[in-house]
Amino acid sequence: MTCPGGETSTTWIEAPSQAPYTMVKFASYQCNPCRERSQCTRSKQGRTVYFLPRHLHELQAHNRSQQQDAHWLRLYGSRAGVEGTMSELVNGHSVRRCRYQGLAKTHVQHTLTAIAINVERLAAAHQSPGGHARLRDRIPEHSLPIPRWWRRDN
């Protein structure tokens, strides 16, 4: 590898502990006197560059190009909603620690916690301006029955 100052790298390391990266190092005696050092590195030991193997680099480039697609963004938006719910469960309701022992009791605790979160969200949607109407308008999308007191004809 050649730096902008024209120096050639001294060391290539493919250490198993740092797999799958290849580390390329320039010695400090190559970088310290260089006039173009500010464009390369701020390190006092010399420049170090890491490379992925070609097949991983191409896979990463392909995945990054897909992330610009509208379909991918729509799918990721739904994932972001799920991640937000999981974060609320873990950070707001401590679901990683269960009060009870046994799978059945843990399941009951998680189910009740999920119901409590849904009730909180319904209450917040009902109190926010327009939230009640937005929530009411989304229910038919999922073929759920609308309670009588939510109907528009009342």
Together in a domain, 71 and 82: yes
Together in a domain, 118 and 93: no
107-133 average pLDDT score: 78
Say what the pLDDT of residue 154 is: 44
Together in a domain, 136 and 124: yes
* Overall domain count for the chain: 3
Together in a domain, 93 and 73: yes
* Cβ neighbours around 37 below 10 Å, total: 18
Cα gap 53→122, rounded to integer Å = 50
Percent of the chain, pLDDT > 90?
A: 9
- pLDDT confidence of 62, banded at 50, 70, 90? very high
In a domain, 58, yes or no: no
Cα gap 80→17, rounded to integer Å = 33
In a domain, 73, yes or no: yes
How buried is 149 (Cβ within 10 angstroms: 0-12 exposed, 13-18 middle, 19+ buried)?
exposed
Together in a domain, 125 and 106: yes
Say what the pLDDT of residue 64 is: 92
Domain extent, residue 38, equals: 11-53
- pLDDT confidence of 142, banded at 50, 70, 90? low
In a domain, 83, yes or no: yes
Cα gap 137→123, rounded to integer Å = 16
Say what the pLDDT of residue 26 is: 82
In a domain, 21, yes or no: yes
120-149 average pLDDT score: 65
Cα gap 102→71, rounded to integer Å = 41
pLDDT for residue 140 is more than 90: no
pLDDT for residue 73 is more than 90: no
Together in a domain, 102 and 131: yes
Tokens of 7: 């120096």
Together in a domain, 15 and 46: yes
Average pLDDT of the residues of the chain: 79
In a domain, 149, yes or no: no
63-67 average pLDDT score: 91
